[in-house]
A and B are shown apart, each in its own frame.
Chain A
Amino acid sequence: MYRYDKYDQAIVDARVEEFRDQARRRLAGQLTDDQFKPLRLKNGLYLQLHAYMLRVAIPYGTLDSRQMRMLGHIARKYDRGYGHFTTRQNLQYNWIKLEEAGDILADLATVEMHAIQTSGESIRNLSSDQYAGAAADEVCDPRPWAELIRQATTFHPEFSYLPRKFKIAVTAANEDRAAIRLHDIGLKLVKNDDGELGFEVYIGGGMGRTPFVAPLIRPFLPADHLFSYIEAALRVWNRNGRRDNIHKQRIKILVHDLGQEEFTRQVEAEWQEILKNGSDVPRAEFDRIAAYFEPPAFETGLSDDIDRSDPDFALWVDHNVKAHKAPGYAIVNISLKPVGGIPGDATAEQIDLMAGLGEKYSFDELRVTHAQNIVLPHVRKADLYALWQVLDENGLATANLDLISDIIACPGLDYCSLANARSIPVAQKIATRFADLGRQRELGELKLKISGCINACGHHHAGHIGILGVDKKGTENYQLLLGGSGAEDASLGKITGPGFNEDGIVDAVERVTDKYLAVREDGERFLDTYRRVGFEPFKEAIYG
């Protein structure tokens, strides 16, 4: 894992002081609310329905037990004893006082954490594959590149006030667990025919009101030029992106308006200019960063056998434990989706517990997933049963990874000032309707994603089944979408038709799953069946 040196620490410490000063001037009336808003947003502080919300950056979703414990400490000391893991692998607190925000940042800085650029019209904290460094199917660990970009995009002066937010995701595996093609820039590490490392560069994806799957803008970017190429794309957008309508200011709109070919031409031309600046981070610095991500000292000669005599444990292994590249090790997913719970929420006690388990069983490493779960990336198979027992005693062993109750949901109208409808109760009702794990397993992989408004923080466009909450003449109404995917086969869901009330949407989901069970062929996931038979049979099942 990356560790700060004196320079990183000095920059984060300076940011704490800067934000304290800005908050002080706001509280003293020297900054208007309009002037303060972009400043606090650049530091992850939103004003929500009931209080300030603070979003803490967890760069590319990786953290150690010391950092995880700090998240628990902050939840207890400054919030109401819990936090919410987000779809961008961050953590947010819902009940923050402006007066205490500076103290929280100071606490975070003691464990090499911050809230820099977690919101606002800035280059956001970037996301990556939660199995990075552990997955068998990756070209190499993508996180050194992610860390390099984290640093290079932190306080980038030219991009101080971009037209809108800007999200980057990087992966190095064929299975896309980071939804890269639904980002402003999606990066996939590949090797060319000469064995050289580079990136496939996708630009202009996104969800929100106008979703797009990003086109491939450059099939092979030499890895050493990653940063200058990102700068070129940002500059083209910063200069030419719309600024007259907040809903049309993301880079995806510029890519769409110019067309892929013209956008690519402009970025390539700008890149030739930017290359003259020598802004690319040199290989020696990459090597310095990469040294922090050397694989841990895996034991050799371990057995791959797992004692499956406890049936509940065996079920959990089947669903929540994934293949690791080192013999004798496994990747463990801790579900934060118990039936009836709030997707992605964890109490301070659970956060502490997971920190301890990461320390004891996973080389002191934890990951946050974009599906709002936690991963222990490097667990000895011999330790799985002991680990599972602790998780099970603490309500953290729900064996539902990628099943219908492993729901992604935004905070919705329970917290969010942008929302039109509540997301959490719908997630809870669906999880309760399908509470029988046997039934969930029968349905197989089924990614259900709920957003409480068109901004799509709950990724409804990318759900195999998506739900979008809207406001219909003052009442909450839910539209159903089918056929989305955020994986390597990225696609956008299609709205089925008229929406439903809260109970109606649960019934509609059940009619969809019943139809799937009736028409699926051997080995098909829901998404496969949908793609084979098309939209109509499901529409008919829903609306009769």
Chain B
Amino acid sequence: MGDLKGNAHVAVPQGLRFRDDDPAEEPAVTLDAFLDQSNSSAVRLEAGEDARRLLPHLDHIALIEIDFPRFRDGRGYSSAQILREAGYTGELRATGDVLVDQIDHMRRCGFDGFAPDKPIDATVLAASLNRYRYRYQTAADGAVPVWKLRHG
């Protein structure tokens, strides 16, 4: 497959934080608290909360945590995707019941920080993140979809 363009190799960083800036120092506050006191720069979204309520404030947020109460609760994927589509560039951190087999798709939706309840096996994760070189669709990770690769 050397003749086909695709995703580059990814290493698993220490602390599961896939970005180079310094982590936010303030603790994340609840959505309601954040909207009340807009000087905060870190906010936490519960699974059912509407990510779009943050859109007017994205330029001064450094960290958004999105919680996964159960790994099968997939609402957080849409929250992440919506925030990235709106131009959010700060850290998007998945918290809670985050398991190794979910992280690849979370990365695609724009998550770049992970604080799982239970430790992640870095070897399994490295294999998982490098398994799919090609993607069928656009997403927040900027991967070039197969349909675009096919047509140069």
Please list the residues of chain A having a beta carbon within 8 angstroms of any beta carbon in chain B: 5-8, 10-11, 14, 17-18, 21-22, 25, 30, 35, 38-39, 121, 151-152, 154-163, 235, 238-239, 243, 273, 276-279, 281-282, 284-285, 288
Contacts and interface: CB of A to CB of B under 8 A. Distances in A.
A18 B130 CA distance: 11
Contacts of B131: 14, 17-18
B151 A154 contact: no
B73 A243 contact: yes
The 8 A-B pairs with the shortest beta carbon distances in the complex, nearest first, are A161-B74, A157-B108, A157-B105, A285-B147, A7-B146, A160-B105, A151-B136, A279-B138
> Most B CB atoms within 10 A — which of A154, A161, A235, A279?
A161
Nearest to A235: B78
Nearest to A151: B136
B29 to A, nearest CB: 22
Nearest to B104: A157
Contacts of B135: 155
A7 to B, nearest CB: 4
B149 interface: yes
Contact of B99 (A35, A278, A288): A35
Nearest to B75: A239
Given A7-B146, A121-B72, A25 B139 contact: no
Nearest to B4: A6
Question: In which size bucket is the chain B interface?
Answer: 35 or more
Interface string B83-106: 001000000000000010110111
Given A21-B124, A152-B137, A14 B132 contact: yes
Nearest to A37: B72
Q: Which of A163, A243, A276 is most buried by chain B, counting CB atoms within 10 A of its CB?
A: A243
Given A10-B1, A21-B127, A239-B78, A38 B72 contact: yes
A159 B99 CA distance: 16
Interface of B: 1, 4, 6, 50, 71-75, 77-79, 81-82, 85, 99, 101-102, 104-106, 108-109, 121, 124, 127-128, 131-139, 146-147, 149-151
6 contacts: A5-B150, A10-B1, A30-B124, A161-B77, A285-B147, A288-B150
Nearest to A241: B75
Nearest to A17: B131
A5 B75 CA distance: 33
Contacts of A163: 74
Chain A binding site: helix, strand, loop or mixed by DSSP?
helix
B20 to A, nearest CB: 23
Nearest to B135: A155
Contacts of B105: 155, 157, 160
Nearest to A285: B147
A5 B105 CA distance: 23
Nearest to B76: A161
Given A11-B134, A235-B78, A158 B109 contact: yes
A277 B138 contact: yes
